[in-house]
Each structure stands twice: as C-alpha cells, then as structure tokens.
Structure 1
Amino acid sequence: MGVEIAVTGLTKTFGSQTIWRDVTLTLPAGEISVMLGPSGTGKSVFLKTLVGLLKPDRGSIVIDGKDLTRLREHDLYEVRKLFGVLFQDGALFGSMTLFDNVAFPLREHTKKTEAEIARIVHEKMELVGLEGAEKKLPGEISGGMRKRAGLARALVLDPEILLIDEPDSGLDPVRTSYINQLFVDLNAQIEATFLIVTHDINTARTVPDNIGLLYHRHLAMFGPREMLLSSEEPVVRQFLNAQTIGPIGMSEEKDADELAAESGRELPPLPPIPPQLGTSDGRPRRGERPAGEWCREHGVTPPPGSFQTAGALTPPRQTEYAAELATAAAPGPAGGPVGAVGEVD
C-alpha cells in the first residue's frame, strides 16, 4: 500500500537563486500524480528533495508520520527504503547485465540468498515485459527497454512510493504509450504512490489522478486531473493545452510588451477532457474516479466532447495488452505493427 506525502511550505535555493518557494501539496496515498512545468522550473530538484537527496531551506516533508527535513542520516536512510526511483536514462550500470542491474539493490540492502534474489529479479523483469533479456547489457538494448529495466530495479524492494523522472524522454509516441499503460497497471497491482515528472502533455492529460504545475518559482496549481484540465488559470490553461497565448514565453515568462500585444486576442477553446487511461485487465485502481465526477461535484461544465472515447484516447484493450507486454512483440496501442520492443514478425 502506498503512503501519503504531505509537503508544506517547501522552499529551495541554490545560493542567490530561488528554485521554488512555499510549495504546499499532498500526494494522496496509492494514487498517480504528475508534476509538470516549463524546463528549468525545478521539477527534478523537487524529486531529489522529496527523497532526501537535497535538503530544503524551509518547509516540511511528512511521510509515514516522519518529517524528512528533520531526520538524522540513519533515520533518513530507513525512510528512503519506502522509495523506488526511475531516473531519466534508467541509470543502469553499463558493465552489468540487466539481471545484475536489477539485483543490485537486493544485494546491497538485504541479506537474501542468491536463489531468493533470482526469484525476485525474474518476477520484476516479467512484470515490466523484459523476461528473457536478463543476460543482455544496457548497451545492447533500446532506450525503452532501458527505461523498463530501470523500473524493474526500482521495484525490487517493493517500494510504497515511486518517483519517476521524465519516463518519456527519448521515447517515440508508441513506446511512451506502452510505458504509460505499464505505470497504470503497476499502480493497480502494487498500490504504491506514484509521482511522475514529465513534459508529455498526452501523458499528463490521460494517466494521472492528480496534476501539479511548477512555474515562476512557485506551485501554480495542484489537484485532481479534471480540475486542471478544465481550469481557466492562464498558465495552467496555456501549458496543459500547449497554447502560445499566455504568460509562458520562449524562455520562461513573457515580458510586458508581449503580454500587451496579446491583450484582447481570443483564446482558443479548451479541448475536450479525454477519458483517463484504465488498466489493461479492467481492474479498478485506488485513485480512479468516475469520468466527470469532479466537474459535477464542483459545478464545472467540461469542454464539449469531454470523456468521449475516440482515436488514440480509447480505453485500454483489456487483457490482450498484458499478453503483448509479456511477449514484447505485438500490435501497438493504435493496432499497428509496432510492439513494446520492435516490429512484429
């Protein structure tokens, strides 16, 4: 079962540079949350601060009743065992096989026998669709496979919290769809608390239960997916809908002249809110909510066409996806000839 992460008044600086200040949010236990933001807004710094690799200047991070910012190193080490981390590039050891990479945390942090380690490694590699690739080196596999190997390594200690840093970087849209489905299925199976940092708007619009947006050294908004996808807040609306009209410029903020030039221009309509990605076998998830529930509860009229299944936003194809991922050679999410690893024979 995942655990709640309560962040209050978190502030981080490097010298005279403020990365973000007074960040306050609660990551609900067992749910999938996504953190967005323009490049350079400190999303990866936020992940490193959550796991205790960086110390904030102010604020608290309470996990399982303990404030990480005030723990001694020994106690912090124990709390870190709750975490699994998937780094951007997988962060695999190039000279080790995938088996040894995935086994590394078990050999470092447990006293399990090699037979027990082998059983766990095979279980986790099968879970991410890498069964049969145990003897390969990281340099012999694709970027998508390296991501999944890194995910298997993050899972071997059965974490209650998974931090995932830009899992879509370097992946094509098909592999991004596969790994998104994998996250949803894993969340249903292990019920860990997920926090995904991403720039991929389709991922942000379809995968999470909650969305946060860092901008201009603060947390612009954090809340349920439907709240942000129906928001009229300028920076949220602009970023989540990939629009040019709004306060975000090519660097970060637009200057007064740019904003004045946009004054009076009609904003494009909000696009429909897509259905949330479901599990491949149809099982419910802890954080899953009925489509449109938040909008109904708060009297918000969603954009026309919201929650309708169409094209690439159709719900998962139930159990056939699980078989595809296990064999790593079957039709892609749109029914084409691309599998999780490569082309189908």
Structure 2
Amino acid sequence: MGVEIEVNDLTKSFGKQLIWGDVSLTIPAGEICVMLGPSGTGKSVFLKTLIGLLKPDRGSIIIEGTDIASCSERELYEIRKLFGVLFQDGAMFGSMNLYDNIAFPLREHTKKSESEIRAIVMEKLDLTGLIGTEQKLPGEISGGMRKRAGLARALVLDPEIVLFDEPDSGLDPVRTSFLNQLIVDLNAQIDATFLIVTHDINTARTVPDNIGLLYHKHLAMFGPREMLLSSEEPVVRQFLNAQKIGPIGMSEEKDADELAAESDQELPPLPPIPMQLEPSNGIARRSQREPGAWCREQGITPPPGSFEDNVSMAPGA
C-alpha cells in the first residue's frame, strides 16, 4: 500500500530566482495525482525536491513521520527506498540490455541471489508488457518501449511511491493512451502512491484522482479531479480546458492590456467532465470514486454531458 506525502510551506529558489513558494498539499496514500503547469513553472524541480535530490529553501516534506527536507543523509537513504522514479527519457544504460537495466537496482541495493533477481525482473517485464524483449538494448526498441522498461525498473524494488516525470514526453497520442492505461492498471495492482508530472491535458482529465496546478511561482490549486475540472478559477479553467482566454500568455502572464482586451469576450463553456479511466480488468481501484460523487457532495452541477463514456478531452479554443 502507498504512503502519504505531506508538503508544508515548501519554497525553492535558484540564487535570486524564486521557482515556487509556500507550496502546501497532501498527496493521499495509494492515489494517482497529476501535477500540471505551464513550461518553466518548476514541475520537475518539485519532483526532485520530493525525493531529496534538491533541498528546499524552507518548508517540510513529511513521509512516514520523517521530514526529508531536514533529515540526515542516512534517514534520507532509507526513505528513498520507498520511491520508484520514471525519468523523462527512461534513463536507461545504453550498453546494458533491458534485463540488466531492470536488474540493476536489485543488484545494487539488495543481497538477492541471481535466481531471485531473475524472478523479479521477469515479473516486472510481464507487468509492463515487455516479455521477450529482455535481451534487446535500449537503442533497439521504440520510445514507448523504453518508457515501459524504465517503469519496470522503477517498480523492481516494490516502491510505495512512484514518481513519473513527463512519462508521455516524446510519445504519440496512441502510445500515450497505452501508457495511461498501464499506469491505471499498475495502481490497481500495487496500490502505490503515484505522482505524474505532465503537460498532456487528456492524461490530466482522465487518469488521476487529484490534480495540482503550478503557476506564477505558487500552487494555484490542488484537489480532486472533479473540483479542478469544474473550477471557474481563471488560470485553472484556461489551462485544463486548453483555452486562449485567461491569464496565461504565450510567454508567461498576459499584461494588463491583453487582459483588458479579453474582458468583453465571452468565455467558452466548460467542456464535459470525462469518465475517469478504469483498470482494464473492470475492477475499480481502491481510491476510485463514483463518477460525479465530488460534484454531488459539493452541490455543484457539472457541465452538460459530463461523465459520459464518449467524453475524453477538452476541445482547444
């Protein structure tokens, strides 16, 4: 079962450049969360800070009672055993075949025998649909297969937290759809806590239990998927619905003149909220809620057509 990550007042700068400040959120145990934001808002920095690769300027990150922002190196080493990470490019060793790439963490961090390692590696290859490719080099397979191999390696130590740094980067829409289904199926099987950094709006609208949005050096919003997909908050509405009207401009924020010019334009209606992607075996994940449950609890009427099977992605504006 996954573990909870509690982030309080987290702030990170590089020199005089503030990346984001006073970020507070709780990533629930065993749930799938997505972190969004325009390019350059520090999403990958946030991921690296969560695992202790970067130290925040202030704030805390509490995992199983340990603040990894201020703990000792020994404590951090132990906490990192809870994590598996899928990097953007898979981060495979080019001179090793897939089998040895996936076996690497087991050989480095455990005292398991080669027969035990083989059983685990083959299990993860099967889990990610890569049986039969174990002798191939990373350069001999497609980008989508490299992503899956990287995911198999991230899972090999049975982590309770899995971080995905733009897993859809470089993939076409079809491969992204297959990867999204794999992520949902894995969460159902291993019940770990998943955090996905992505730019893909379809992924954000259909995969997670919770969504966060980093914007203009702060966390604009974090909460249940239905909360953000029904939000009238301008930056949330604009980003999650791929609209041109709103505070986000081509470079960063729109200036006052641009916003004033938009003031008399009618906002397009919110698109329907799609059904959340379900495990391929049809059995709901532990954290999966009934479609529309959050909206009903909050007394919010979702956009017309919400929670229909044929709704998947917000239209561009």
Shorter-chain TM-score: what band?
over 0.9
2:292 equivalent to 1:274: no
CA contact (8 A) 2:87 2:166 kept: yes
Distance 1:206 1:107 in 2: 37
Deviation at 1:311, TM superposition (A): 6.5
Distance 2:69 2:240 in 1: 32
- Aligned residue type for 2:123: E
Give the corresponding residue for 2:93.
93
Give the corresponding residue for 1:286.
286
- Aligned residue type for 1:107: R
Give the corresponding residue for 1:238.
238
Distance 2:42 2:290 in 1: 32
Deviations 1:81-139 (A, max 9, x none): 00000000000000000000000000000000011101100000110000000000000
Distance 1:235 1:133 in 2: 44
2:232 equivalent to 1:258: no
Give the corresponding residue for 1:114.
114
Distance 2:306 2:261 in 1: 31
Distance 1:250 1:136 in 2: 42
Give the corresponding residue for 1:53.
53
Question: In the comparison of the two structures, how many residue pairs are matched?
Answer: 313
Deviation at 1:301, TM superposition (A): 0.6
- Aligned residue type for 1:200: D
Distance 2:94 2:128 in 1: 20
Distance 2:191 2:33 in 1: 13
Give the corresponding residue for 2:29.
29
- Aligned residue type for 1:155: L
Give the corresponding residue for 2:171.
171
Pairing 1:219-238 to 2, within 5 Å after superposition:
219-238=219-238
Deviation at 1:310, TM superposition (A): 1.1
- Of 62-71 and 220-229, the range deviating more from structure 2: 62-71
- Aligned residue type for 1:224: P
Deviations 1:27-86 (A, max 9, x none): 000000000000000000000000000000010000011110121001100000000000
Give 3-state SS (helix, strand or coil) of 1:104's partner: helix
- Aligned residue type for 2:208: P
Give the corresponding residue for 1:132.
132
Give 3-state SS (helix, strand or coil) of 1:69's partner: coil
Distance 1:84 1:113 in 2: 21
Deviations 1:299-318 (A, max 9, x none): 111000000111668xxxxx
Give 3-state SS (helix, strand or coil) of 1:297's partner: helix
Deviation at 1:183, TM superposition (A): 0.4
Deviation at 1:264, TM superposition (A): 1.6
Distance 2:311 2:233 in 1: 28
Runs of 4+ in 1 over 2 A off after TM superposition: none
- Aligned residue type for 2:111: K
Give 3-state SS (helix, strand or coil) of 1:238's partner: helix
Distance 1:30 1:243 in 2: 32
Structure 1 residues 311 and 69: CA distance shift in structure 2, 3 A = closer
| Aligned-pair identity (%) | 79
Distance 1:189 1:47 in 2: 23
Deviation at 1:282, TM superposition (A): 1.1
Distance 2:113 2:298 in 1: 54
Deviation at 1:286, TM superposition (A): 1.7
TM-score between both structures, scaled by the size of structure 2: 0.98
Distance 2:260 2:286 in 1: 45
Give the corresponding residue for 2:16.
16
CA contact (8 A) 2:273 2:311 kept: no
- Aligned residue type for 2:23: V
CA contact (8 A) 2:106 2:112 kept: yes
Q: Name stretches of at least 5 consecutive residues in structure 1 with no aligned partner.
A: 314-345
Deviations 1:204-245 (A, max 9, x none): 000000000000000000000000000000000000000000
Distance 1:99 1:181 in 2: 23
Give the corresponding residue for 2:69.
69
Pairing 1:187-202 to 2, within 5 Å after superposition:
187-202=187-202
Deviation at 1:252, TM superposition (A): 1.1
Give the corresponding residue for 1:158.
158
Deviation at 1:145, TM superposition (A): 0.2
2:299 equivalent to 1:310: no
Give 3-state SS (helix, strand or coil) of 1:100's partner: helix
Q: Give the root-mean-square deviation of aligned CA atoms.
A: 0.8
Distance 1:117 1:151 in 2: 17
Give the corresponding residue for 1:336.
none
2:8 equivalent to 1:2: no
Give the corresponding residue for 2:39.
39
Give the corresponding residue for 1:337.
none
